[in-house]
Structure 1
């Protein structure tokens, strides 16, 4: 069994609000990730979109490509149409040497809209889950047929946010659809990350590790803030998310429920780097992940 520690560049430069960390060069991000002992990186908007170029850029810093986010619109189109729309992403992923597609439904999502509070996030009706799950399963199978694994990313501000949403997604999809367990989105969305790991271990194909500042989460929920205001923090204050070891999540408990998992665990911290400098936070997060993996007996 092999577990590799990767990172998403969102701790350096934000993808949803690109001016956050916008003045941070890609080279600085990759240099600092290497210094923090990161073994691979997920796709960020400053990285090459050509697979071979992306692979080469990361290799020059001693890292592999992990995966990239793909926004599905299966509420609007068929699985066949989605697969055609994903052709460029598929080519990039395969060309860069990865086999994971991180998928999330964004056709009606609000997480990138700073004007909308999270209470306005979209929801699927009970009668909509079966057809949506069937389309997601077909899309995942089409990806599997070309050697790629779809890992669905539950996410604040989308139709798959709460524990009930995750349960419905998993109940109405088949095994070609894997779950991306995101500890931070799970906890903020009302789920126990360790409980999700236990319930869906056989279908978890990818793991994102970010922590939650409990007091800030409660403040954001009480004030009904937007997702972006919540993660970036108001004024000089820090936001809801931080790196493992700096919040409320018990990572050893999560990893104990992932016995037998092989693959990437990816460090994330959606923060403003001017308030929370990326390198020291990355080092703290990697150290905590390693300690928790060791405590859980996964190293």
Structure 2
């Protein structure tokens, strides 16, 4: 198979993609069971998805020719990938990592570098506070990474993410005020961090550069915000559920960005942690449910 010339799993005009994290593939040590790449990519293709984000470093090949060949076996295009790097100290190291990822993404036809402001700690359960100087370095380093990625033809988006230095509502607003980077609007991470993604999209329609679509168990999200449950534990307990089964107004979210002229990717990216006892068919089943729901939402927009 070769990559599809129609990079969509949704109604005409909408670009829908998947991500390995929906199958439990994560960069965090000890996150859970990791399914092999042929299983994950094969199940994506079997669901009618024609594009994916890269997944964590080392999961898929880092050699461009090898990566293109592997994705081509499953008819998948590369959208881009997630890069969590420390932005508030040692900008040189962050720029080196970003340059390597941007070169790989571009060589494989990708469009987006999804950047997160990592703390430098393992996982996403703790966040040390930043000084004003460290915040300024974070913003400046993000801008430099944007410029490096742009040299490779990529757009850089900042991903507000639980357990990073842009997580809470106040931090999202501060970043939007201090930086001109667009956001990756992740409906799940924003809600866990205390931001209404629908309201955010309506306030800043011109700052939405990429979408990660999740649905959320609102009770577990509140437990994480309140510090009663660690993020990793909550994910394992079912924090993210298939689209349409949680407390995110996906219809309003998608309708809002579409009305504002968004023409980027709709990525089904629902963080999953698999135990050894987890049914191996669960990720495919959950993504299929989400994909069917999203197709319905997009179809109604097309019909309207």
Q: TM-score range by the shorter chain?
A: 0.7 to 0.9
Give the distance between the partners of 1:223 and 1:84, measured in 2 at CA.
34
TM normalised by structure 1 equals 0.86
Q: Match for 1:153 among 132, 155, 159? A: 159
Q: Map 1:214-229; keep pairs closer than 5 Å.
A: 214-222=218-226, 224-229=228-233
Q: Compute the displacement of 1:127 (Å).
A: 6.2
Residue 48 (structure 1) aligned with residue 61 (structure 2):
yes
Residue 25 (structure 1) aligned with residue 26 (structure 2):
no
Q: Compute the displacement of 1:132 (Å).
A: 3.0
C-alpha contact 1:3 1:264 (8 A) present in aligned 2: yes
SS of 1:257's partner is: helix
How many residue pairs get matched?
284
Residue 38 (structure 1) aligned with residue 49 (structure 2):
yes
SS of 1:89's partner is: helix
Unaligned 5+ runs, structure 1: 234-238
C-alpha contact 1:256 1:297 (8 A) present in aligned 2: no
Per-residue CA deviation, residues 37-71 of structure 1 (Å, 9 max, x unaligned), is 21211112421111222122112111101111112
Q: 1:236 — aligned with what?
A: none
SS of 1:244's partner is: coil
Residue 244 (structure 1) aligned with residue 233 (structure 2):
no
Unaligned 5+ runs, structure 2: 1-11
Indicate the larger mover: 177-186 or 120-129. Answer: 120-129
C-alpha contact 1:4 1:265 (8 A) present in aligned 2: yes
Indicate the larger mover: 196-205 or 283-292. Answer: 196-205
Q: 2:8 — aligned with what?
A: none
Q: Compute the displacement of 1:220 (Å).
A: 4.1
SS of 1:105's partner is: strand
Residue 282 to residue 88, structure 1, CA distance change in 2 (3 Å): same
Q: Match for 2:113 among 95, 101, 108? A: 101
Give the distance between the partners of 1:198 and 1:109, measured in 2 at CA.
33
Give the distance between the partners of 2:114 and 2:150, measured in 1 at CA.
13
The root-mean-square deviation of aligned C-alpha atoms, in Å, is 2.4
Residue 286 (structure 1) aligned with residue 297 (structure 2):
no
Q: Compute the displacement of 1:280 (Å).
A: 0.9
Q: Map 1:111-190; keep pairs closer than 5 Å.
A: 112=123, 118=125, 120-125=126-131, 129-174=135-180, 177-190=181-194
Give the distance between the partners of 1:19 and 1:135, measured in 2 at CA.
28
SS of 1:252's partner is: helix
Q: 1:63 — aligned with what?
A: 76
C-alpha contact 1:213 1:248 (8 A) present in aligned 2: yes
